[in-house]
Amino acid sequence: MTRIAVIPGDGVGAEVMGPTLRLLQTMNVSVGLGLVFDSFDFGAERYLKTGVALPAGQLETFREDYDAILLGAVGDARIPDGAHARELLLGLRFGLDLYINFRPCRLYAESLCPLKGKHAEQIDFVVFRENTEGQYNGIGGFLKSQTGDEVAISTEVNTRKGVERLVRAAFAWARRKGKRRVALGDKSNAIPAHQLWRRVFQEVAAEYPELEARHLYVDNLALQLVQRPESFEVIVTTNLFGDILTDLGAALVGGLGLGASANLNPDSTPLFEPVHGSAPDLVGQGRVNPMAMFLTAGLMLEELGHGAQAARLERAVARAILQGQVTPDLGGSLSTTEVTEAVLGHLEAPG
C-alpha cells in the first residue's frame, strides 16, 4: 500500500485535483498500483478560520506515514500577503528538506511553441532548481519601514552541502537517463557567492567525463534558451534563477498550464505540485487547464516506482494535445471536464 497525502489547494488548484484523482484512481484499479489517498484541507478557508496553514506535528506525520504529497495550487486574494501559501508551501519544502525542485520542459506540439521553426523533439529539457536555500529563506527585513529612508534587505544563502547535493543529483539523473549535456546557470561574475556554484559544478563534472558540462551566466542562459533551446538537456541553478528560468521554459512549450514539478529528497517524503497559480479569475468557469496537474501526477508515479504508468499518463496527455483536445489557453475550446474525458479515453486506449 502506498499512502498519498492530498492537499487540494485553493481556487483552480482544488478544481483540477478532482479530475487528477479520477485519472489516478482509474489507473489504480486497472493495474493495481495500491495507491491510497487521504485528503487534508490545508487551504485558505482553514487558514482564515484558524490562522494556521500547516498544523503543528503535520510535518512529522507526512514524513513518517506518507509516501508522497500531492498539492494543488495555493493562493487566495483574501490573504493579500500570501502568508498561508508561503507558510504551507515553503513550510513543506524546508521542513521536509526537499532540496531538489525538478521541472521538466517538453514540447508536445509545435503549434504551442512561440519560437519559429522549432520541432517538438528540439525542446526537451529539465531544470534542477535548488529548493531550500538561496533568497527564499526569509533572512532579512526592513529598516525605517514606510519612510523615505526605508531599507529592505534579503540575504541569499548558499552552502557547500546545499549546492553540492543538488549538482550531484543533476549529474546522476543525466547519467541515469542517458542524457549528454548538463549546464549550470549562475551569476558568479557579479555575485561572488556564486563562485561556490561554479567550483562545485566543475568538481562534480570531473566525475562524469562522458557528459558535456557547460557553465553559463544566467542571463546568457536565458538568451540561449530562446535562441537555441535544443542545446539544453539538464540545467542546474539557484533557487531564484530556477524559479525564473522554469517559467521561461514553460512559455516555450505552451505555458503554465503544462508546468509540472516535483520537490524531492531521496530521504524524505516527496511533494508534487503544478507550477501555475490558483488563478482566482478562472474559478468556477470550468475552463482551467488540468494538464499541468496530470503531468505532475505522472512525476509522482515515476518517483514511486511506476515508471511505465507515468509514461502511459504522459502519452495520454500528449495525444490529447496533438488532437487539439485542449482548453482555451492552448488554443482549444474544451472545458476542464471535456479535457479530462479526452485524456481518460487516451489513457484507456491500447498502445
User: Which member of 38, 41, 65, 219 is catalytic?
Assistant: 219
247 in catalytic set: yes
| List 136, 179, 186, 329, catalytic entry | 136
Extended strands (E) in the chain: 2-7, 35-39, 68-71, 100-106, 124-130, 140-143, 151-154, 181-186, 212-217, 234-237, 260-264, 271-274
Query: Is 297 within 8 Å of 24 (Cβ atoms)?
Result: yes
3-state helix, strand, coil in the chain (%, to 5): 45, 20, 35
Identify the three-state secondary structure at position 154. strand
Task: Answer yes or no: are the C-beta atoms of 321 and 330 closer than 8 Å.
Answer: yes
What separation in angstroms does the CA of 169 have from each of 194, 277, 278? 18, 27, 30
Would you call 215 exposed, middle or buried from its count of C-beta atoms within 10 A (0-12, 13-18, 19+)?
middle
C-alpha–C-alpha distance, residues 192 and 110, integer Å: 40
Query: Do the bridges between strand 2-7 and strand 68-71 make them parallel or antiparallel, or are there none, so unpaired?
Result: parallel
Compute how many other C-beta atoms are within 10 angstroms of the C-beta atom of residue 195: 13
Q: Is 99 a catalytic site residue? A: no
Choosing from 97, 118, 187, 208, which is the catalytic residue? 187
DSSP string covering 223-273: HHHHH-GGG-SEEEE-HHHHHHHHHHHHHHHT-GGG-EEEEE-TTS--EEE
Which three three-digit cell numbers place residue 136? 527564499
Q: Alpha-carbon distance 334 to 54, whole Å?
A: 35
Examine the residue annotation and report whether 219 is marked as an active-site residue of this protein: yes
Could you list the active site residues?
Answer: 136, 187, 219, 243, 247
